[in-house]
Amino acid sequence: MSARSKARKRAIDILYSADVRSIAVREALTAEAKRAASEPAREASWLYAREIVDGVIDHQAEIDEQIETYAQGWTLERMPVVDRAVLRIGVWELLFNPEIPTGVAINEAVESAKTLSTDESAGFVNGLLGKIAEAAGVA
């Protein structure tokens, strides 16, 4: 698994933790930063994980608006918690991180959904991120 894939998993964990515990994402990020300081071997994945989570925090309103606009019949509250985390990261990479190619962002999100969520989640994530990418002109 690449350092960026590990970072995405770590970012999912942070977003998921904040959501489940009903705490601010910034608070979950601070707790993870303390833990990361004691794990220098995982520094490469930590740096990108922090960039992702900071990006999701900075653009959360726009990200959530994109998800709700294109998730036909689904509200964020109705989605599984892990799907929300995966989608927020995927949308951030699509719209706010030009270093990540569109196909990579979508594929990584789909793979995360396959391994961490329900059987239907991978298709849902793929379709939703595809619609957002197409609408944004990054497809």
pLDDT tens-digit profile of 97-120? 999 999 999 999 999 999 999 989
Picking from 79, 89, 13, the residue whose alpha carbon sits closest to that of residue 52 is 89
In the chain, domain spans: 3-136
pLDDT tens-digit profile of 20-65? 999 999 999 998 888 877 877 777 778 899 999 999 999 999 999 9
pTM exceeding the 0.85 threshold for the entire prediction: yes
Statement: 3-136 belongs to CATH 1.10.150.120: no
Any alpha helices (H) in the chain, and if so which ranges? 3-21, 25-37, 43-70, 81-96, 102-116, 121-136
pLDDT tens-digit profile of 59-93? 999 999 999 999 988 899 999 999 999 999 999 99
81 vs 1, higher pLDDT: 81
Residue written as token pair 């294109």: 70
